[in-house]
């Protein structure tokens, strides 16, 4: 007879306990604390003062906050679809080639493991209007490049282009999904007279739709939370053109010493992300195809 503690359940909880402790101490605890902090005025230097919902009320009168939401929304709306499309195209090309696939996969993934700050510094030089590589290349084809990070009309676009640097993660996920699509399905479609585009549209895309769904959700969440690029490259400038919401949160917390206000921003952002994530989840029944569900239903 096994002792009461020597069960699979005990072992499971014991093994997972480091994560549970970490989650409770470093994530759930601070999250709950930030709810309380968001109801206070707190500079970190003095004891917090309870102000009820004032921080939330003030947020909606704060033109900089609404501007930061607009900037973040624009960043997400433009960057996520392009990243998904680019990653998908590259993954499909990699899936087609026979040689050096693994090497190329590594090459495309490598930028994702480089430190964020180092990458941003690199891009700052690439975007330099005077000596940057990008304007040099544009100049070769007769296009006068913009002033990028120094131009309020182009700075956010520069950050969006920067974000494409890290599509290696999406590529690897798409590639794995593509390699899981059975050849017999493509062959059957071609025998039925489908051309390449029709095969991609009607066979490949539906078969890898769970991977697309996963990448869309993850990219959307991470782009709503973008911080490092704007913090290092522009500090939110010029003229607030790249002041994304998390950067504004940081500035309120540590530069203006308004920790309660910053916590309120964090919660508003949390609910915005939650809303759009649920929206994507809800819509998934319309466009995400799970083979197991069909099999189970049959």
Residue 4 tokens read as 């009461």
User: Binding to another protein by residue 44, rule CB under 8 A?
Assistant: yes
User: Binding to another protein by residue 151, rule CB under 8 A?
Assistant: yes
Strand partners, 50: 40
User: Binding to another protein by residue 46, rule CB under 8 A?
Assistant: yes
Segment near another protein (CB under 8 A), from 66-74, 148-156, 192-200, 202-210?
148-156
The nearest distance, CB 142 to another protein, in angstroms, is 21
Among 86, 104, 238, 289, binds another protein (CB under 8 A): 238
User: Binding to another protein by residue 237, rule CB under 8 A?
Assistant: yes
Segment near another protein (CB under 8 A), from 111-119, 127-135, 200-208, 286-294?
127-135
User: Binding to another protein by residue 146, rule CB under 8 A?
Assistant: no
| CB of 202 or CB of 256, closer to another protein | 256
The nearest distance, CB 57 to another protein, in angstroms, is 16
Residue 258 tokens read as 């308004």
The nearest distance, CB 137 to another protein, in angstroms, is 16
Query: Cβ(220)–Cβ(76) under 8 Å?
Result: yes
Q: How many helices (H) and strands (E) does the chain have?
A: 16, 2
User: Binding to another protein by residue 145, rule CB under 8 A?
Assistant: no
- Contacts with another protein, 254-273, as mask; x by CB under 8 A: xxxx-x--------------
Strand partners, 40: 50
Segment near another protein (CB under 8 A), from 81-89, 107-115, 144-152, 266-274?
144-152
User: Binding to another protein by residue 147, rule CB under 8 A?
Assistant: yes
User: Binding to another protein by residue 240, rule CB under 8 A?
Assistant: yes
| CB of 146 or CB of 210, closer to another protein | 146
| Range 221-239 burial, b when 16+ CB lie within 10 A, else e | bbbbebeebbbbbbebebe
Q: Is 5 exposed, middle or buried (0-12, 13-18, 19+ CB in 10 A)?
A: exposed
3-state secondary structure of 103: helix
Containing H/E element for 135?
helix 133-140
Query: Could you give the C-alpha distances from 157 to 79, 150, 177, in angstroms and in order?
Result: 9, 12, 30
Query: Cβ(254)–Cβ(205) under 8 Å?
Result: no
User: Binding to another protein by residue 128, rule CB under 8 A?
Assistant: yes
The nearest distance, CB 226 to another protein, in angstroms, is 19
Segment near another protein (CB under 8 A), from 44-52, 174-182, 200-208, 220-228?
44-52
3-state secondary structure of 6: coil
Q: Which of 214, 175, 219, 217 is nearest to 79 (CA)?
A: 219
Residues 61-80 that bind another protein (CB under 8 A): none
Sign of CA dihedral 51, 54, 59, 62: negative
**Interface ranges with another protein (CB under 8 A):** 6, 11, 14-15, 17-18, 21, 43-46, 128-132, 147, 149-152, 237-240, 251, 254-257, 259
């Amino acid at each position: 007879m096994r002792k009461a503690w020597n069960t699979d359940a005990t072992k499971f909880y014991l093994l997972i306990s480091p994560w549970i402790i970490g989650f409770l101490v470093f994530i759930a605890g601070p999250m709950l604390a930030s709810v309380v902090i968001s109801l206070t005025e707190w500079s970190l230097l003095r004891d917090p003062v309870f102000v009820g919902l004032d921080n939330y009320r003030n947020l909606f009168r704060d033109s900089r906050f609404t501007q930061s939401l607009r900037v973040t929304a624009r960043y997400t709306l433009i960057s996520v679809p392009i990243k998904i499309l680019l990653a998908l195209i590259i993954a499909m090309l990699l899936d087609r080639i026979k040689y050096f696939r693994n090497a190329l996969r590594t090459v495309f993934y490598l930028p994702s493991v480089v430190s964020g700050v180092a990458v941003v510094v690199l891009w700052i030089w690439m975007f330099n209007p005077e000596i940057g590589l990008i304007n040099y290349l544009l100049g070769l084809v007769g296009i006068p490049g913009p002033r990028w990070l120094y131009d309020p009309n182009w700075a956010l676009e520069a950050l969006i282009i920067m974000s494409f640097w890290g599509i290696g993660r999406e590529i690897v996920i798409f590639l794995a999904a593509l390699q899981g699509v059975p050849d017999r399905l493509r062959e059957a479609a071609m025998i039925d007279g489908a051309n390449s585009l029709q095969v991609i549209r009607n066979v490949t895309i539906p078969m890898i739709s769970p991977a697309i769904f996963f990448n869309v959700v993850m990219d959307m969440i991470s782009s709503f939370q973008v911080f490092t690029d704007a913090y290092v490259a522009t500090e939110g400038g010029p003229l607030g053109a790249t002041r994304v919401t998390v950067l504004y949160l940081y500035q309120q917390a540590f530069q203006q010493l308004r920790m309660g206000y910053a916590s309120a921003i964090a919660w508003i952002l949390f609910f915005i992300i939650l809303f759009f994530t649920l929206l994507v989840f809800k819509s998934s029944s319309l466009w995400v195809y799970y083979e197991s569900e069909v099999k189970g239903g049959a």
